[in-house]
Structure 1
Amino acid sequence: MIKRIITYFLIVTALLYGLRYLHYKGLVKQKEGYYGKLQEAFFEENAYSVLFLGSSRAEMHYDTQLFDSLTGENSFNLGLAGATPRVAFSALKAYLLHSKAPKYLIYEVDYYALKKKSSEIKEFNNYFPLLTNPVLRKQFSNIDSRMSQFYYNPYFSWPYTGLKNLSTSIHGWLNIPNQTDSLYYKGFVREVFRPSLNFISTKKQYAYFNISERSYLDSIIACCIENNTKITLMSSPIFAGGYLDVLNKASIISQLKNIATINKIDYYDLSSLPFCNNRGLFIDHRHLNYTGAKNFNPHLVNIFNNKIVLSALK
């Protein structure tokens, strides 16, 4: 009886490992879209001159195609949904495992969302097939200790897979593009599906730096300095300039400027540009749609060409 149980267990385990391999393989076979971006970032040897880093705001705001056409640079957008400074630092370290350090890095600072210690990875199950990158696995395991178990134990990871994730894998095996694949370009994603911002009620809150998130911002800065990368801190547009969401905007902006000064780098607050009161350019208070991104990027390019690059030449 015991022998039969052990045999069944070994068969089921082998099947789970096999199914998981096929599932992950279908995801990483994709060369475009979401998984194409992550595969390129964490496994390919890249030599981009400019790297954009941050949360979904970075991912949706910094248009690599428009930026490259206006600057002559070769950029990549490493923005990840829900990425706190701790998650962004992890992504940067994992990127540098295979890729050359960029000459310039622009880090998007979400100054309204820094008061909680980062203890989770948004959409963590999307990263399962990427945990073969040892740096990513180590860094993410420091945030969520389950990540190592997800990597080694199919019994633990399989229940978290999700039907959407399985569907995406099938698309990879059949070489069928996903609906959003064409919206990605060198990490930037065009937001064209969701409707423009409607009138929604918000509650103003105080913004401040959690000591842990501040330490990871310092780690991002130190990593760039160590790799001879010129890092610039930036905050991109927020609806109504952030004044509908943050009670102490002037104070948190002043703190960010002080952090920049201490580290002898620059911080640019572009969250209050003239078009920031136009609801038609936002999908919510914190995210631009594609039209909004096209309005923002000329301002970004102006800062890059006339301040960031020129100061690097001095």
Structure 2
Amino acid sequence: MKQFLIYTAKVLFITILIAIVLDGLYTYFFLQSKNRGKIEDVFNSKSRNYDVVILGSSRANNHFDAKMFEAKGLKTFNYGMSGGHLFEASLLLKLMIERKYTIKNVILEADLNLSNDHQSEGVSAKFLPYIHNSEIIKKHFESEKDFNELYYIPFYRYVKFDGKIGFRETYKIVKEETTNSLDNLGYYPLVKHKNGNMKNNIVNLNPLTHNKYYEEIKAICKTNNINFIAVMTPMCENVVGMNYFDKVKKAYPEIHNYENVVIENQYFSSCGHMTDAGAKIFTVKILKDFFHK
């Protein structure tokens, strides 16, 4: 029995030691990563100057053509993240401020994601390699139910989210493989697909009366003298339940409603995401309304 306990203790010790070593090794590689995605790009950056920073989900990523802002003399980057929620948008802005970014305007796509204040695990996982290197990231995750496991168990986060930050991603960082996330100043143009989902039902969707992370973004902008522009972006003409946007306007009167600026199906890749042609029409409208000279 004694030998068994000694053997078990040795196995446990070696397992923990390996986990600690692997945790440190993976984290080291992520701390060198700058060309894989938007989160790494911000975390591993230093002070930058922007006239316009765009935040939000794929409905920001696919709807604001950053090059059109640049053509107007506005230094811009689209930090919209496909699948992202306001949880991630708020944390990304906090990291920008920590890195002493100078930002004149923040455009936040705030519409469908106002209906929840949850993290998007697939996107938020990409912050986790840095959780021991950033007090801001640590505090942002502290209220999440799995925080203790993610923070205190070495290598656990890399195993749990292997598909996002595991061996394959680490290997690609080492090989210095790039992605298209940072192309086109962060804007991801879409094309029309014949099999695109052109139906959407948001009848049961309701905005929270107080979305924690929306309010955080708003407060960060106020504290740092950043002009805050929150907008609702277009959806196709087939959507059922478009009164959702009226509910948003009632709960958050400061949010500008642009859901009907582009509605024709021909300008949509799917019902919630415009094609490049639709995005350009929408971007022209935003530039005219907020950045005319």
- Normalising by structure 1, we get a TM-score of 0.78
For residues 115-157 of structure 1, the C-alpha deviation after alignment (integer angstroms, 9 at most, x for no partner) is: 34x2333313332213222212211332x23245323313532
- Please state if 1:296 is matched with 2:282: yes
Alignment-mate amino acid for residue 40 of structure 1: D
Provide the rounded CA distance (Å) in 1 between the counterparts of 2:210 and 2:29.
37
Partner of 2:170: 169
For residues 40-85 of structure 1, the C-alpha deviation after alignment (integer angstroms, 9 at most, x for no partner) is: 323422222221122221122222223212x212122232334433
> Contact 2:56–2:81 (CA<8 Å) still a contact in 1?
yes
Quickly say closer, same or farther: Cα 1:96–1:248, change in 2 above 3 A: same
Quickly say closer, same or farther: Cα 1:163–1:93, change in 2 above 3 A: closer
Alignment-mate amino acid for residue 133 of structure 1: S
- Please state if 1:14 is matched with 2:12: no
| Aligned-pair identity (%) | 20
Quickly say closer, same or farther: Cα 1:238–1:88, change in 2 above 3 A: same
Match of 1:277 among 264, 281, 285: 264
Q: Shift of the alpha carbon at 1:199?
A: 5.3
Matched position secondary structure for 1:114 = helix
Provide the rounded CA distance (Å) in 2 between the counterparts of 1:186 and 1:148.
36
Quickly say closer, same or farther: Cα 1:253–1:160, change in 2 above 3 A: closer
Q: Shift of the alpha carbon at 1:285?
A: 1.4
Alignment-mate amino acid for residue 233 of structure 1: A
Partner of 1:287: 273
Q: Shift of the alpha carbon at 1:113?
A: 4.2
Provide the rounded CA distance (Å) in 2 between the counterparts of 1:252 and 1:272.
15
Alignment-mate amino acid for residue 279 of structure 2: A
Matched position secondary structure for 1:167 = helix
Alignment-mate amino acid for residue 175 of structure 2: L
Alignment-mate amino acid for residue 171 of structure 1: K
Partner of 1:268: 256
> Contact 1:66–1:297 (CA<8 Å) still a contact in 2?
yes
Partner of 1:92: 93
> Contact 1:56–1:79 (CA<8 Å) still a contact in 2?
yes
RMSD: 2.9
- Please state if 1:221 is matched with 2:218: yes
Matched position secondary structure for 2:90 = helix
For residues 2-40 of structure 1, the C-alpha deviation after alignment (integer angstroms, 9 at most, x for no partner) is: 344333222222222222333344444333242xx2123
Partner of 2:240: 245
Match of 2:196 among 183, 195, 198: 198
> Contact 1:48–1:102 (CA<8 Å) still a contact in 2?
yes
Matched position secondary structure for 1:48 = strand
Q: Shift of the alpha carbon at 1:289?
A: 3.5
Partner of 1:103: 104
Partner of 1:135: 136
Which is worse superposed, 25-34 or 228-237?
25-34
Matched position secondary structure for 1:233 = strand
For residues 143-187 of structure 1, the C-alpha deviation after alignment (integer angstroms, 9 at most, x for no partner) is: x23245323313532431324643222121122334x35x63443
Partner of 2:250: 255
Matched position secondary structure for 1:211 = coil
Provide the rounded CA distance (Å) in 2 between the counterparts of 1:97 and 1:148.
24
Provide the rounded CA distance (Å) in 2 between the counterparts of 1:101 and 1:196.
42
For residues 259-297 of structure 1, the C-alpha deviation after alignment (integer angstroms, 9 at most, x for no partner) is: 32xxxxxx43222124x3134x33321122334333332
Q: Shift of the alpha carbon at 1:205?
A: 0.3
Matched position secondary structure for 1:245 = coil
Matched position secondary structure for 1:106 = strand
Alignment-mate amino acid for residue 174 of structure 1: K
> Contact 2:39–2:126 (CA<8 Å) still a contact in 1?
no
Q: How many residues align?
A: 286
Provide the rounded CA distance (Å) in 2 between the counterparts of 1:246 and 1:84.
21
- 1:24-35 equivalences under 5 Å are 24-34=27-37
> Contact 1:108–1:234 (CA<8 Å) still a contact in 2?
yes
Partner of 1:160: 160
Provide the rounded CA distance (Å) in 1 between the counterparts of 2:36 and 2:68.
18
* Off by >4 Å, runs of 4+ in structure 1: none
Partner of 1:125: 125
- Normalising by structure 2, we get a TM-score of 0.82
Provide the rounded CA distance (Å) in 2 between the counterparts of 1:289 and 1:10.
54
